[in-house]
Copies of this chain bind each other. A is one copy, B any other.
Amino acid sequence: MGKKLTPRSEDYSKWYNELVVQADLAENSAVRGCMVIKPYGYAIWEKMQAQLDSMFKATGHQNAYFPLFVPKSLFEAEEKNAEGFAKECAVVTHYRLQNDPDKPGKLRVDPEAKLEEELIVRPTSEAIIWSTYKGWIQSYRDLPILVNQWANVVRWEMRTRLFLRTAEFLWQEGHTAHETKQEAIDETIQMTNVYSEFAENFMAIPVIKGLKTDSERFAGAEETYCIEALMQDGKALQAGTSHFLGQNFAKAFDVKFTNKEGQQEFVWATSWGVSTRLMGALVMTHSDDQGLVLPPKLAPIQVVIVPIYKGQAQLDDIDFVVNRLVNDLRLAGISVKYDNRDTMRPGAKFAQYELQGVPLRLAIGPKDLENGTIEMARRDTLEKFSFQLEGIVEVIAQNLVAIQDNLFKRAVDFRANHTTEVDTFEDFKKTLEQKTGFISAHWDGTVETEAKIKALTKATIRCIPLNNPQELGKCVFSGKPSAQRVLFAKAY
């Protein structure tokens, strides 16, 4: 604990790194690019997992678990997918260590224990899962398969940042198999909607649902749906993706089913995932120069109570009142911590819980006891209020709702103020530099134009929004005709 965070205005990236470490969310590990998720950070992830998991189950999915390793021959079966991930794969080549004859007490890889076929540590599980589904699917009666997996995956990223881009990360990956193309597309869209609902109603992060362009699509997918969020520094963050995989993996792994007419057909597939990257989005959407700001629905501690006292007698009186309050709050389903440690001053406690983003802080001292009051501080607005203790549980519940709503509204307003319609490339560049955020502009639909804009500005097409208004116009770069605007931004 302790030292102040670098202000966001000074160095947003430094602020982020300091916040993640100081708020006890995560830290870098001894393994290049891999993070340690600390208990407080993991508790937030657990709340996210629990909510997502219940939403997956409510839409008919079941969890399962598939191997960490993918044999090279399976990995390379779907060529585009393999090509997309080949350059960032951790590869297991040996299965034993032995004493190093040259260095007593040290170990080395046993050259005799070389695998006949290398194993890839899964960067994503389509290959291993579709090689398994081949054994599960014979007839239309075996479909649909609606399976999700919570797992770790590894992508050997060269430049890593806590939560946002790490070599190993935690995620869920849904992998479904269907009789018809339409059913698979419906599933892909359904899961995009589930992600959007989760982001907006639980993380309090407004997102744009859209389609990726050819060059940003998942390797091996026919179509990638995504949800895109906007961070406080005006950069976009892809918060979740849902892929319509067509019959690509069914063909690569020869997965056919007998349809109701008795004919053999290839199976239709989807996959969809969100990861611990969402933790980064959560931090960068709501937090401030004092530290983390958490939406109440995902806060491991929703309310912290700090006693202000001198001497044991005063503390005993406060304990008596607070213990009853704690009990009442728990009965109301509110998670509360009473921090009456005597090894830390109230001011230091205030700073710690502010840094860790606890939505409501209550303080109570001898004066409050006399007056039957309690002080409440809102983390989102940093406002303080004094309330009567009588009826305080209801007031707390209302304030938690108000904070959740306010965070979402703030983020919606921020995005509205940072989404700009632009019709010339000059304005495009100026907006990107000065105002940042999403730029809504016409695009001629070619990979070439997209690549040139990226090379010149670092902005990419984040998505073609779903239900996008059709509007004739000219491409902001090439001047060629265009039927709709798309969203550009610099992105994480």
Question: Which residues of A approach B to under 8 Å, CB–CB?
Answer: 27, 29-31, 34-39, 42-43, 45-46, 62-72, 74-76, 79, 82, 86-99, 105-107, 109, 118-121, 128, 131-132, 135, 141, 147, 151-152, 154, 156, 168, 170, 343
Whole-angstrom distance between the Cβ of A324 and the nearest chain B Cβ: 22
**With A43-B62, A135-B27 in contact, is A91–B97 under 8 Å at CB?**
yes
Q: Which B residues are CB-close (under 8 A) to A72?
A: 97, 107
How far apart are the CA atoms of A70 and B97 in the complex, in Å?
13
In the complex the two chains form, is B88's CB within 8 Å of A31's CB? no
How far apart are the CA atoms of A141 and B344 in the complex, in Å?
11
From DSSP, what is the main secondary structure of chain A's interface residues? mixed
4 nearest CB pairs, A to B: A39-B62, A34-B67, A37-B65, A86-B97
Q: Which B residues are CB-close (under 8 A) to A70?
A: 31
Whole-angstrom distance between the Cβ of A170 and the nearest chain B Cβ: 7
In the complex the two chains form, is A31's CB within 8 Å of B86's CB? no
Nearest chain-B residue to A30 (Cβ)?
Answer: B131
Give me 16 other A-B pairs in contact (C-beta within 8 A), A69-B90, A90-B94 excluded.
A27-B132, A30-B67, A31-B70, A39-B64, A42-B64, A68-B152, A69-B168, A72-B97, A75-B97, A86-B99, A87-B96, A89-B95, A91-B92, A93-B94, A93-B109, A109-B118
In the complex the two chains form, is B91's CB within 8 Å of A94's CB? yes
Q: Which B residues are CB-close (under 8 A) to A154?
A: 68
Q: Which B residues are CB-close (under 8 A) to A30?
A: 67, 71, 74, 128, 131-132
Whole-angstrom distance between the Cβ of A443 and the nearest chain B Cβ: 32
Q: Which B residues are CB-close (under 8 A) to A156?
A: 95-96
8 contacts between A and B (CB under 8 A): A31-B67, A36-B64, A36-B67, A69-B168, A72-B107, A79-B105, A87-B98, A96-B156
In the complex the two chains form, is B63's CB within 8 Å of A36's CB? no
In the complex the two chains form, is B95's CB within 8 Å of A29's CB? no
In the complex the two chains form, is A76's CB within 8 Å of B36's CB? no
How far apart are the CA atoms of A459 and B131 in the complex, in Å?
40
In the complex the two chains form, is A76's CB within 8 Å of B168's CB? no
Q: Which B residues are CB-close (under 8 A) to A66?
A: 29, 36
A27, A65, A118, most chain B CB atoms within 10 A:
A65
**With A63-B43, A105-B79, A152-B152 in contact, is A34–B69 under 8 Å at CB?**
yes
In the complex the two chains form, is B64's CB within 8 Å of A38's CB? yes
In the complex the two chains form, is B86's CB within 8 Å of A95's CB? no
Whole-angstrom distance between the Cβ of A92 and the nearest chain B Cβ: 5
How far apart are the CA atoms of A45 and B42 in the complex, in Å?
21
In the complex the two chains form, is A90's CB within 8 Å of B119's CB? yes
In the complex the two chains form, is A107's CB within 8 Å of B86's CB? yes
Q: Which B residues are CB-close (under 8 A) to A99?
A: 86
**With A29-B67, A43-B63, A128-B30 in contact, is A107–B92 under 8 Å at CB?**
no
How far apart are the CA atoms of A180 and B170 in the complex, in Å?
34
Nearest chain-B residue to A154 (Cβ)?
Answer: B68
In the complex the two chains form, is B97's CB within 8 Å of A87's CB? yes
How far apart are the CA atoms of A59 and B60 in the complex, in Å?
34
How far apart are the CA atoms of A152 and B152 in the complex, in Å?
8
Whole-angstrom distance between the Cβ of A433 and the nearest chain B Cβ: 35
Q: Which B residues are CB-close (under 8 A) to A105?
A: 76, 79
